[in-house]
Amino acid sequence: QQQVKQSPQSLIVQKGGISIINCAYENTAFDYFPWYQQFPGKGPALLIAIRPDVSEKKEGRFTISFNKSAKQFSLHIMDSQPGDSATYFCAASKGQAGTALIFGKGTTLSVSS
């Protein structure tokens, strides 16, 4: 019940295309869903996050779509650029102080020019 399942494991997208990464969770107590971006040799950087009271959140080229009934959420990267090539992690937590982030296994995105 604590798992967050992420797919696909790897993704190759052409420059200018849309990258889509999906995550599914089981624990209905989760109410905070962030996405992190990690470059080699760096720590994960918080990209965008959503709470279940909204179905979509957009920041620049990055959009989170959230489906509470299906217990799924996804990251869309519009107009993907070579600089977006990185590993992306979805995560979930109860959104309260002191609770752990439960991470998906990650998606390695390569944007070809």
Q: Least CB distance from residue 82 to another protein, whole Å?
A: 22
The whole-angstrom distance between residue 64's C-alpha and the CA centroid of its chain comes to 7
Q: Least CB distance from residue 32 to another protein, whole Å?
A: 4
**Which residue lies nearer to another protein by CB, 41 or 83?**
41
Query: Are the beta carbons of 109 and 13 closer than 8 angstroms?
Result: yes
- Contacts within 8 Å (CB) and 24+ apart, 47-51: 47/75, 47/88, 48/75, 51/95
Q: Least CB distance from residue 14 to another protein, whole Å?
A: 27
Which parts of this chain interact with another protein (CB under 8 A)?
Answer: 32, 34, 36, 41-46, 49, 89, 91, 93, 95-106
Q: How far apart are CA 110 and CA 87, in angstroms?
A: 9
**Which residue lies nearer to another protein by CB, 44 or 80?**
44
**Which residue lies nearer to another protein by CB, 11 or 103?**
103
